[in-house]
Each structure stands twice: as structure tokens, then as C-alpha cells.
Structure 1
Amino acid sequence: MAKKNITNNTNNLPEQEFNFIVSDVRIPRMVPLQTLADESGISYKALWQMCKQNKIVHIKSGNKFLVNVDKFIEFLNTGETEVEGNDGDNTA
């Protein structure tokens, strides 16, 4: 059986270009609900309900909700989530 020559595509990039790509990535700060409750003063239960209603940007890891802090601050300042659904209220 012949051995396949498998190469990683990142090995073909010049080092300077690879560092440029990695430095452009901004990882969001994700915190558990209890940490966010402690830092914000909003109750754990209220934050949990916001996650269940998809009002705040979060991910669920196992049974733990992790909230994007930057998006949460934006939500507090504007009262809106980034992606708004149509709630059917079209009053003008």
C-alpha cells in the first residue's frame, strides 16, 4: 500500500502571511450566566430567560449557557439583538 503525502495548507503560506491571518481573528469573550449575573447585577434567572427567548447572543455548551459579553453590552445599550425577527407588529 502506497503512503499518501498529506500536507497542511498552512505550511505552504509564507510565515508573514500566516501571522497576518491569525492576527485578524478576534475571539469574542464568552462568559457563563453566573459570571455575567455577578458582573452586571442582572439576576441569573432573568439572564437564563433571555437566553431561552433568544434575546441575547449565546451558545449552549452541554447544559451551560455562554453569553457573548460584547453583544450583551450592545443589547443593554440599544435594547435590540443583532438579528431581529418579525414579531408581526407593523403599526405605523
Structure 2
Amino acid sequence: MAKKDNVNNSITLPEQEFNFIKSDVHIPRMVPLQTLADESGISYKALWLMCKQNKIVHIKSGNKFLVNVDKFVEYLNTGEQESE
């Protein structure tokens, strides 16, 4: 349970709770399209089209697309899934 610190009225977490929260979090590696194009050998335009068609997991930050690298590798390994 979180405790209230009387000195500066902020809420602090006990070490045990903080370690539990920290160990469960996996932050994905998100890279811009140009970086992914350089690393994968797939053209920038092809990656951009995949984002526009929602084929790969991405977010848009301003006018930049940031792609989840782990999900992109998974997409390359499995290919497109056909839906009926």
C-alpha cells in the first residue's frame, strides 16, 4: 500500500511494490521508419505503405511513424494472415 510522506505531501511506494511494478514492465523498442529501413533493407516507401495500410504495429508522433521492432520482426516471420 502506498504511504503518504508528511514532509512534502507526496505519495511514495514501498521498495517491494516498486520492484514488482518495475519487473513486469516491458517497454517495446520503437524506431522511426528511416532507421527500420536502414536496419531491415526494406525501402522507406514500402514501410510507409505498410503503416498507412495498418499492416505493421506503429504509432504516429507528429508526422513521424514509429514502428514496434519486435512486432515488425514477428510480422516478417509470419507474413500476412488471410481473413475469411
- TM-score bin (small chain): 0.7 to 0.9
1:61 and 2:50 are equivalent in the alignment = no
- Structure 2: unaligned runs, 5 residues or longer: 1-8
Q: Normalization by structure 1: what TM-score?
A: 0.74
RMSD between aligned residues: 2.1
Q: Normalization by structure 2: what TM-score?
A: 0.81
Percent sequence identity is 84
**Per-residue CA distance 1:39-62 (angstroms, 9 max, x = gap):** 000000000000000000000000
Runs of 4+ in 1 over 2 A off after TM superposition: none
Separation in 1 of the partners of 2:80 and 2:21?
32
Indicate the structure (1 or 2) with the bigger Cα radius of gyration.
1
**Per-residue CA distance 1:6-41 (angstroms, 9 max, x = gap):** 643xx1x42122112112100000000000000000
Richer in strand (by share): 2
Matches within 5 A, 1:3-82: 7-8=10-11, 11=12, 13-80=13-80
- Structure 1: unaligned runs, 5 residues or longer: 1-5
Count of paired positions: 77
Separation in 2 of the partners of 1:58 and 1:65?
6
